[in-house]
Structure 1
Amino acid sequence: MKYLRILILIAVCSPAAAAELLRHDLNFRYPDYAVRDTDTIIRKQSLSAGINYGSDAMFFGRVGLIKYPYFSADVVYNFKSGFFVYGSALRLIGYNTSVDEVDVGGGYLYRPSKRFSGALSYNRFIFNKEERIIESATSNDVNWKNAYDWGPIKSTVTLDYLFGKSSDFFMTVTHSKYFETKGNIFDDKDYLSFNPGFSFIIGTQNFVQRYSVDHQVRLNSINIYRFGTSTDFNNGRLNMLNYSFKLPIAYNRPHYTFELAYKYSIPVNVEGALQNKHESFINASFFYVFY
């Protein structure tokens, strides 16, 4: 824990951070399904509804050996007090199931100063009986996220404790730069926004072992399971898991946003049956906000 505190201090105190804590930058479910990195904070009671597309389902820097593109629908209700609740449904593309995952959760947004803001939330994941994606190795997430605006860029540190069939701890550190166009695109009410960023994830990966055990028959059938027990893997050890670069570009109007994002992921210290490699991801999302 001493080394973990040092890492957090280095991450927070490095010269980073840009605009405000973004509502959808809270990553209600988990970092790699989060949408609308270029959104602006909602300061009033509001209801947001959106649809999203992802080229593959990633979970804390890890993907399955079968590619799982997906669609999801999200609803978020923000209270004036800072509390929020949300619900989400995810469907994998290419399968007969109508819904593969349902997420529900809630939390509290806080801003003790103009530069510092954060959120604390709890998230519950519910899967159908197939449990195809890696996230199915767990079912609960306690998420604590804090962001500091240094001026030139923004630094964000997110701590996640996940528990269920497996238990894991993660720290995600992101340095990003938010900016938007000064001129109008089609009229005086729209603009483009950008939020390029670099992230790294430190954590345990007991979920890899749990997923491998749950899906051993499926992995064996395509010859991607590591047989034998004489491995030196220690999935409970705190390790660097992933580096990634992301470029979200969004078209914004007063009540809605369309965003397209490219992400390049570099997994490291891959353990167990899931042999991850460098991968590119494309995400698209559309959100409408009702005030």
Structure 2
Amino acid sequence: MRYLGLFIILFSHAAAFAAVPPRLFYAERLKTTADTDTIIRKRSLSVGVSYGNDAIFFGRVGPVKYPFVTTDVVYNDKSGLFIYGSGLKVLGYDPVFDEVDVGGGYFYKFSKKFSGAISYTRFIFNNDAKIIKSASSNDINFKNSFDWKVTKSSVVMDFLFGKSNDFFVTFSQSKLIEPSWSIFTDDDYLTINPSANVIFGTQNFVNTYTEDRDIRKMGDYIYSARMDRNNRRFTVLNYYFKVPVAYNMPHFTLEASYRYSIPVNVENVLQNKHASFFNLTFYYLFY
């Protein structure tokens, strides 16, 4: 990689919308910063904004589509420590902010091929927040990646606790592609980072979400103890394929990302179907 303008997200990210810390050099989670892949080991500050056509949380979405905008600030220290904050606004609804996240963690690198990070995130929601993620309030995230050169393998573990407790494991296989040619100037370049992912986990958050948001009042919703038992099982939740394409300059990145999601073992009112998700992300890096 030629420049320092790239980060990895969780969440996930995992991930989804994140779902997990946006945050810095790693993860799917969620989150909300770009999906590219360079490691930065110097003091830096990044500020970003992202748009998504629907909020997805570990392979699940609510019964109504919630397009959103997020803002993120991430500070990275040379030691590998980092702190971050973000805000999320669901478009078309009253709260000024539906969610504010704060957290921090540590990035480590054992070798050129093996790296990882551990972090903690606190989710703070408006009382009127409608996104499915609002059933959780804390996340401990642990990610390890191994670069085979041909592809990169990642394993992300998330323990979420608060109103509901859930555990997730996300396996990802990705390939970073960086064409040798520039676009407009000698300093710019493209990166493409397609990945195939599978999410395993429990889904107690679904029970909490349906209770908190009175979704049980919806027309064809039928509640049963069997659904609760199934949601407590650790099982496959989602398969998804993601293709982020980023335009990079030394200090900023503009990225468009497409995700095709295949939810499985869905219980309760969230009878999700195969769906497409789109994200547009811009962030600026100071170092």
Please give the TM-score of this superposition, normalised by the length of structure 1: 0.88
CA RMSD after TM alignment: 1.5
**Partner of 1:72 in structure 2?**
70
Distance 2:224 2:267 in 1: 14
Assess if the C-alpha contact under 8 Å between 2:198 and 2:238 holds in 1: yes
The equivalent position to 1:274 in structure 2, one of 267, 270, 276, is 270
Letter in 1 for 2:198: F
Distance 2:106 2:90 in 1: 30
Compare 226-235 and 207-216 and name the one that shifted more.
226-235
Find out whether 1:257 has 2:253 as its counterpart: yes
Number of equivalences: 268
Decide which structure has the larger Cα Rg and report it.
1
Deviation at 1:215, TM superposition (A): 1.5
Deviation at 1:226, TM superposition (A): 2.1
Assess if the C-alpha contact under 8 Å between 2:33 and 2:48 holds in 1: no
Bigger relative contact order, structure 1 or 2, given CA contacts below 8 A and separation 6+? Answer: 1
Write out per-residue CA displacement over residues 6-60 of structure 1, whole angstroms, 9 at most, x where no aligned residue: xxxxxxxxxxxxxxxx733242256243431125222210000000000100000
Letter in 2 for 1:125: F
Assess if the C-alpha contact under 8 Å between 1:33 and 1:58 holds in 2: no
Distance 2:107 2:271 in 1: 37
The equivalent position to 2:166 in structure 1, one of 143, 165, 168, is 168
Structure 2: give runs of 5+ residues left out of the alignment: 1-5, 12-20, 23-27
Distance 2:78 2:270 in 1: 43
**Partner of 2:283 in structure 1?**
287
**Partner of 1:3 in structure 2?**
none
**Partner of 1:13 in structure 2?**
none
**Partner of 1:238 in structure 2?**
234
Structure 1: give runs of 5+ residues left out of the alignment: 1-21
- Rate the CA distance shift 1:232–1:107 in 2: closer, same or farther, 3 A: closer
Q: Counterparts in 2 of 1:61-100, with a 5 A limit?
A: 61-100=59-98
Write out per-residue CA displacement over residues 123-149 of structure 1, whole angstroms, 9 at most, x where no aligned residue: 000000113111111100000000000
Letter in 2 for 1:121: S
DSSP 3-state at the match of 1:235? helix
Distance 2:183 2:252 in 1: 15
Q: Counterparts in 2 of 1:181-200, with a 5 A limit?
A: 181-200=179-198
Letter in 2 for 1:262: Y
- Rate the CA distance shift 1:230–1:164 in 2: closer, same or farther, 3 A: closer
DSSP 3-state at the match of 1:60? coil
The equivalent position to 2:7 in structure 1, one of 23, 40, 48, is 23
Distance 2:119 2:227 in 1: 36
Compare 129-138 and 37-46 and name the one that shifted more.
37-46
**Partner of 2:110 in structure 1?**
112
Distance 1:167 1:144 in 2: 16
Deviation at 1:229, TM superposition (A): 4.6
Write out per-residue CA displacement over residues 87-114 of structure 1, whole angstroms, 9 at most, x where no aligned residue: 0000001112110000000000000111
DSSP 3-state at the match of 1:234? helix
Distance 1:145 1:41 in 2: 14
Deviation at 1:179, TM superposition (A): 1.2
Deviation at 1:181, TM superposition (A): 1.4
Assess if the C-alpha contact under 8 Å between 2:95 and 2:129 holds in 1: no
Compare 126-135 and 257-266 and name the one that shifted more.
126-135
Assess if the C-alpha contact under 8 Å between 1:233 and 1:272 holds in 2: no
Hey, which bits of structure 1, 4+ residues long, moved more than 3 A? 227-233
The equivalent position to 1:150 in structure 2, one of 143, 148, 153, is 148
